Chains A and B, each alone.
Chain A
Amino acid sequence: MMNELIFYLLAGLVLGSSLAVLLIPNPMYATLSLVGNLLAVAGIYALLNAHFLAVVQVTVYAGAVMVLVLFVIMLINNRDFEARIPSKIYFFLASALVFLFLYILIPRLSSSGEASNVEGSVRSFGLLLFQDYVINFQIAGILLLAAMVGAIMIGRRSGD
């Protein structure tokens, strides 16, 4: 019973913060709503027995990536343009199309069922990661290195 209650609370937070990201004009508040969204989704991961993923989501996604986005927003404070969503017609048309497409298509593809117990503890996750997916792991490391070098190269001033 407690599980269900917490799940509905977190689901409400997810819904609310997604709408807030879409609708709030100020970019800083929209980013903070996304942070709230990431934290609520981390809670849902914990409820779905994905403990390691919940912690990684908070540490990496909500704790590092979004801080970078927040830094960029804080440093670039020059907003002469109107941050509102353009005219209402486009908004409603786009929303209707997207929602209809996804809400009609996706639920026909999913299978309904109860959540079975998957062992998402750190130990089992690590064992699977380093035994079956070790090559993917190494490639992910190289990808991160490439991204880091690339970001530094792109972000340099053109005089260096």
Chain B
Amino acid sequence: MDHYIILIIQVVFVLNLILGLASLCTWFERKASALIQDRVGANRAGAFYRGDNFLSKSASPFIRVLGKLGVINTLICDSVKGIMKEDFIPKGVNPILHASGPFLAALPVFVSFAVIPFAPDFTIPAFTFFSYDFGPYDIKMQLAPLDAGALFILAMGSIAVYGVAIAGFTGNNKFSFLGGLRAAAQMISYELAMGIALATAILVYGTTDIYAMVEAQKTVWGIIMMPIGFVILFITGLAETKRGPFDMPESESELVAGYFTEYSGMKFLLFWLGEFAEIALFSAVISLLFFGGWNIPFVTLPEGTIFGALLGHTILMTKIVFFCLLQIVIRWTIPRFRYDQLMNLGWKYLLPLSLVNLMGTAVVVLL
């Protein structure tokens, strides 16, 4: 009974974390893209707020600052606008299929967060609260401490292809169909190189459990052991999330809007939420596998205490936020690939490179 309650608390925590990260990425995308492109971006909503009673007067400096930064605009105005828009379904399309497109694109991302550890394990010592005895609890900050955690993330990446393909197909026009097919082909091609790069990481750490991989990086970070693997995983992760220089499927100047042309309102926002959550997922994977998770060189965290868990969580979150922001900056800095260049890169360069990397790493591990 107790551990169900702890599980529910953990689920709420992780869900808050994902949505918080996705919101942060959304806001940063708007503001950073504006600053990179030498314009100001959204700064009007709530920027001139003046209160007239005591409560709103004391809150108004904060609201003005948030408004100037464009936070209110992105987080509140866009969401309300998206919820209140008319939900448009093109004619002659099955409404269930149409609705399941964004669902299948966003669900695997949220499920993958179940195998990501957010803090080192800690124990809550026994305490009594209003004469109820709560025993000592061993809490793992992983919703599902699976043995095959890294492979589970790969499996969920495979499911995400369905959302894109179905979304493109149910648009019932040639543009979104083409965008959907291209997106699905791109995702499948880069999944291969990503799988082999993950296999390299599994080879070096000797386990597929993500928690054990982070524990194995106490002395030296993963990136020092496999630099090429990091580069490959980063590039393929960018291609999987259809971000960065690989956003051919949603190339706004060419294909109307790509595979989500026929979606409006909350379904469209669900696609975007799934995409930003995937950015967060992928940053989490990179920082857990290659950058030590919650380990910093020359610092040992106090094991098993709540303070150590909090400290580890903060360190991990810093790394994840850094990689999220890095991906967003990369997207707005580098021009996108043409489709044949993209496929060329995936099949002719990254796949042989990842295979050679795997063989080289296997040789080095054996010695």
Contact = CB atoms under 8 A, between A and B. Distances in A.
Interface of A: 28-29, 32, 35, 39, 51-52, 55-56, 58-59, 62-64, 67, 70-71, 74, 121-123
A37 B19 CA distance: 30
A122 B165 contact: no
B184 interface: yes
B165 A63 contact: no
Given A52-B151, A55-B152, A70 B165 contact: yes
B146 A67 contact: no
B154 interface: yes
A1 to B, nearest CB: 12
Interface stretch (B155-163, B253-261, B273-281, B316-324): B155-163
Given A58-B155, A121-B147, 13 more contacts: A28-B97, A59-B195, A62-B159, A63-B155, A63-B159, A67-B161, A67-B162, A70-B162, A71-B184, A74-B165, A74-B181, A122-B208, A123-B207
B365 interface: no
Interface in B131-158: 146-148, 151-152, 154-158
Contacts of B158: 58-59, 62-64, 67
Contact of A51 (B146, B157, B162): B146
A36 B346 CA distance: 29
Contacts of A56: 151
B103 interface: no
Contacts of B188: 64, 67
A67 B166 CA distance: 10
A63 B187 CA distance: 11
Nearest to B4: A2
The 4 A-B residue pairs with the shortest CB-CB distance in the complex, in nearest-first order: A63-B158, A58-B155, A55-B151, A59-B155
